[in-house]
């Protein structure tokens, strides 16, 4: 290929190790050194259009071959396998640890990219709380959907400011420039009678009407192996309250309520004191995005999959493999 002339490129501009060939040189600068086409145009003294032609020639003649890395193909295969195994619409599998971000952040970033591509101007998006949902909200790109409503689906709580339902909801609403609708009630009250009074209030009746109108929802799932996230959210769940449910087969918490391995509700002493969306109401939402990953989330994710609560899942490579390896 040496000695070919392309446009006005002078051979003296091309280093000798590239045989005087501007096709090979431009391909090296673009694919190996990461220069932009404008940078290459200045380096070679030609137009950007000529650089584009050189790069196309490099692809056409085999100087450059483009292939998907096997590592990424593996995650695609895992995504397809999880989708087929559990009968969901889609699964996004994030590759192994990159060493720069936490697992929650990595799953949140991937979930944000997926959700950003799904949102439509008139959507009503329900938002739960949790570390990964918070990471998703913070990673959400600016996507202008001024006609959207972003709705808090679980009651307010006193807890870590980073993971509250209010913050997750307001952050997402800000990213899409949509209407933010808070749920003006505690997440858990002291007595069932208090809940009954609050639920009869016209304001709460209207807010739950809006929650019922959600066509999308984003949520995480809690593990019974650790109740820390429940405490972070302000629900102040104790081992004394959780252990009876575990003894009856609870493997996960979903919207503050416990479910078993088949996704069935496991009654708990505080169910009639919780104010927020129920698992059945989650299942009634058309598009349901779950963001969760980690060794302690394998059983919970399988439970929400078994219960039909998920249409889209974002998880990591190790969790996906575990989901496929278990019967």
pTM listed for this prediction: 0.77
Could you tell me if 229 and 222 are in contact, meaning their C-beta atoms sit under 8 angstroms apart? yes
Intervals of CATH 3.40.50.1360 along the chain: 70-325
Task: Select the CATH number that applies to the domain covering 11-60 from these four: 1.10.3470, 1.10.10, 1.25.40, 3.30.70.
Answer: 1.10.10
Q: Pinpoint the residues of the chain covered by CATH 1.10.10.
A: 11-60
State in words which class domain 70-325 has. Answer: alpha beta
Sheet containing 265-266: give its strands across: 222-223, 250-254, 257-260, 265-266
Taking only the tens of pLDDT, the chain with its 327 residues reads 334 444 455 544 676 556 678 888 888 889 888 889 999 898 888 899 999 999 999 888 888 877 656 555 568 888 999 999 999 999 999 987 666 788 999 999 999 999 998 999 999 999 998 889 999 999 999 988 989 999 999 998 765 556 688 889 999 999 999 999 999 999 889 899 999 999 999 999 999 999 999 999 999 998 887 654 444 344 555 667 778 888 899 999 999 899 999 999 999 888 899 999 999 999 999 999 999 999 999 999 999 999 999 999 999 999 999 999 966
């Amino acid at each position: 290929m040496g000695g070919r002339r392309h446009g006005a490129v002078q051979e003296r501009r091309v280093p000798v190790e590239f045989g005087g060939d501007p096709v090979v040189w431009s391909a090296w600068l673009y694919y190996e050194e990461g220069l932009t086409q404008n940078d290459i145009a200045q380096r070679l003294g030609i137009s950007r259009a000529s650089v584009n032609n050189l790069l196309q020639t490099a692809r056409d003649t085999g100087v450059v071959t483009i292939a998907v890395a096997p590592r990424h193909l593996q995650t695609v295969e895992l995504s397809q396998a999880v989708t087929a195994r559990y009968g969901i619409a889609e699964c996004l599998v994030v590759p192994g640890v990159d060493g720069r971000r936490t697992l929650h952040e990595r799953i949140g970033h991937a979930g944000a990219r997926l959700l950003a591509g799904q949102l439509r101007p008139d959507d009503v998006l329900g938002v739960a709380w949790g570390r990964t949902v918070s990471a998703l909200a913070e990673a959400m790109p600016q996507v202008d959907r001024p006609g959207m409503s972003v709705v808090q689906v679980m009651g307010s709580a006193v807890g870590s400011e980073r993971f509250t339902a209010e913050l997750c909801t307001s952050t997402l609403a800000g990213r899409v420039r949509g209407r933010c609708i808070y749920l003006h009630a505690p997440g858990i009250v002291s007595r069932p009678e208090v809940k009954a009074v609050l639920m009869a209030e016209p304001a709460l009746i209207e807010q739950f009407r809006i929650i019922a109108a959600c066509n999308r929802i984003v949520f995480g799932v809690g593990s019974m192996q650790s109740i820390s996230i429940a405490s972070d959210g302000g629900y102040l769940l104790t081992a004394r309250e959780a252990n009876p449910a575990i003894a009856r087969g609870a493997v996960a918490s979903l919207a503050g309520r416990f479910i078993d391995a088949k996704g069935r509700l496991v009654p708990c002493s505080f169910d009639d004191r919780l104010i927020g969306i129920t698992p059945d109401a989650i299942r009634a939402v058309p598009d349901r995005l779950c963001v969760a990953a980690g060794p302690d989330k394998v059983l919970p994710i399988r439970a929400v999959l078994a219960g039909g609560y998920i249409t889209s899942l974002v998880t990591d490579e190790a969790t996906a493999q575990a989901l496929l390896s278990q019967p």
